[in-house]
Amino acid sequence: MELALFFLLALTAIVSAAGMIYQKNAVHSALFLILNFGCVALLFLMLDAPFISMVQIAVYAGAIMVLFLFVIMLLGAEQTTDTDARQFGWVTQAATVLGAAFLFAMAIPLVLSGGLNLPEAPGESPRLRLVHLANVTEPVDIAIGDTVFENVVINETTDFTEFEAGEYDVVVTNDAGDVLFETPLSLEPDQILTVVAYGEETLESVVAIANNIDSTADNTARLNVTNLSTENPLYLVDLGRDRQLQVSSDGVIEDAVLTDAIPFGETVTIDMSDGRYNLRFAEETGSGEYELTLIGAQRGIDIEEATEQTLIFTPDYQSVNDPQFGFRSAVETSVLPVSEPFGSPGDIGGLLFIDYLLPVNLVGFLLLVALVGVIILTRPEVTTSRRSTLNRRRKVSRPLVSVITEQTGRDVVVDTPKLEDPSGSGD
């Protein structure tokens, strides 16, 4: 869909650019260029640059192109004289050859190398936190590489800690120094992990769960649900306000089931609206689609918007003899970053007026200089001052009658009273 839109816009942009070049009428050229700028503005929108897109439409397609059209109309230059034989004919051929050569010089490496081999954006350092959910009463030390989390007790959650990407060994020791568990762990850039130590009798295993704490769309809440207890597929169900599972004849009502089936050791991420939920786990025991058995305790959770909660379903050790499993969501809530789209006007404004304040001022000064320059360039006296003063002086020196004759195109009847000839009167 997005690809189709891109190709439509790209095709329109290229056709309108070519039309701009080939139009004989300069006004049509300008209109094609406006169309091209509009297409590029939409492409900017696709590239998450709404501010630049609006500036493109307002400044380019609006102000600059109106200026172009104004000058075209002012000079009466609609019909170009490009059809005449060119004085420098070789320029046309040279331009065509150069253009084709440039296109191929850029396109061939692109095609040969199979597209742009751009390096990816450098990832952030991986972060992880530890959760101790194993049935070990005394505190343990958990070492990840050289970093040691000391005296971690059951149900404790550590803060997120940054690590360098690489290979680590996770070693869990008790107070006596006995190694309880050891496992390798590889950290990659951008990873956010919750490392869970769990076990029904003793510390049986340590697993790393990937946490998704990117911002959600529309700032909804997010749950990361992990099954570390049952081999059967696990579901998270919302019991609703009456805390009763609405069971219809063929099983559980679908709305109550929040997650897909969670296999053992897997994590399922769901985005949900905020509110109060009465959550409970259900295990798929039968063969039918919704043959669910509720397990563990019910737990009411207030879920706020733009937060993440990690629910880990582990055996309940306080009632180990009881076949019922407990519901542990010992992991603290972490606040998600409020989702703000990339390239929002606020971000750009911050950059412009904090990091780029001096360039912004320089550009403003440049615009002022340009304004003064335009006024000086288009001052009428610049080109005609000498001639006009000469004309004015000559006109003044000529007799009034000749000026009127010149301007009206016909002789002025001047009634000058004729004096009587003094010589004739004497006869």
**Binding test (CB under 8 A) with other proteins, winner from 35, 43, 207, 245:** 43
Q: How far apart are CB 98 and other proteins at their closest, in Å?
A: 7
- Calculate helix-pair angle for 26-46, 65-75, nearest 10 degrees: 180
Q: How far apart are CB 5 and other proteins at their closest, in Å?
A: 9
Q: Does 91 bind other proteins (CB under 8 A)?
A: yes
Nearer to other proteins, 251 or 343 (CB): 343
Please identify, among the stretches 80-88, 134-142, 210-218, 328-336, the one whose residues bind other proteins according to the rule CB under 8 A. Answer: 80-88
Report yes or no: 153 and 113 within 8 Å, Cβ to Cβ: no
Nearer to other proteins, 87 or 425 (CB): 87
Question: Which 8-state DSSP code applies to residue 205?
Answer: E
Please give the residues from 13 up to 42 whose contact with other proteins meets the rule CB under 8 A.
13-14, 17-18, 20-21, 26, 29-30, 33, 36-37, 40
Q: Measure Cα distances from 28 to 9, 60, 79, 157, 181 in Å.
A: 20, 17, 10, 68, 77
CA-wise closest residue to 231 among 288, 310, 309, 313: 313
**Count of residues that interact with other proteins, criterion CB under 8 A:** 82
Q: Which residues contact 277 (CB under 8 A, 6 or more apart)?
A: 238, 300, 301, 303
CB-count burial class (<10 Å; 0-12, 13-18, 19+) for 50 = middle
CA-wise closest residue to 348 among 10, 25, 44: 44
> CA 270, CA 308: separation in Å to the nearest integer?
10
**Binding test (CB under 8 A) with other proteins, winner from 319, 339, 383, 388:** 383
Site string for other proteins, 336-375 (x = CB under 8 A): ------xx---xx--xx--xx--x---x--xx-xxx-xx-
Q: How far apart are CB 351 and other proteins at their closest, in Å?
A: 5
Positive/negative CA dihedral, 414, 415, 421, 422: negative
Paired with 304 in beta bridges are none
Nearer to other proteins, 6 or 402 (CB): 6
Nearer to other proteins, 30 or 311 (CB): 30
Q: How far apart are CB 389 and other proteins at their closest, in Å?
A: 17
Residue whose tokens read 């390096």: 119
Q: Does 210 bind other proteins (CB under 8 A)?
A: no
- The H or E element that residue 341 is part of is none
Residue whose tokens read 């929108």: 45
**Binding test (CB under 8 A) with other proteins, winner from 38, 42, 49, 311:** 49
Nearer to other proteins, 91 or 148 (CB): 91
Within 79-122, strands assigned E span: none
Q: Does 377 bind other proteins (CB under 8 A)?
A: yes
Q: Does 257 bind other proteins (CB under 8 A)?
A: no
Please give the residues from 113 up to 172 whose contact with other proteins meets the rule CB under 8 A.
115-116, 118, 121
Please identify, among the stretches 101-109, 135-143, 308-316, 397-405, the one whose residues bind other proteins according to the rule CB under 8 A. Answer: 101-109
Report yes or no: 241 and 255 within 8 Å, Cβ to Cβ: no
Q: How far apart are CB 6 and other proteins at their closest, in Å?
A: 5
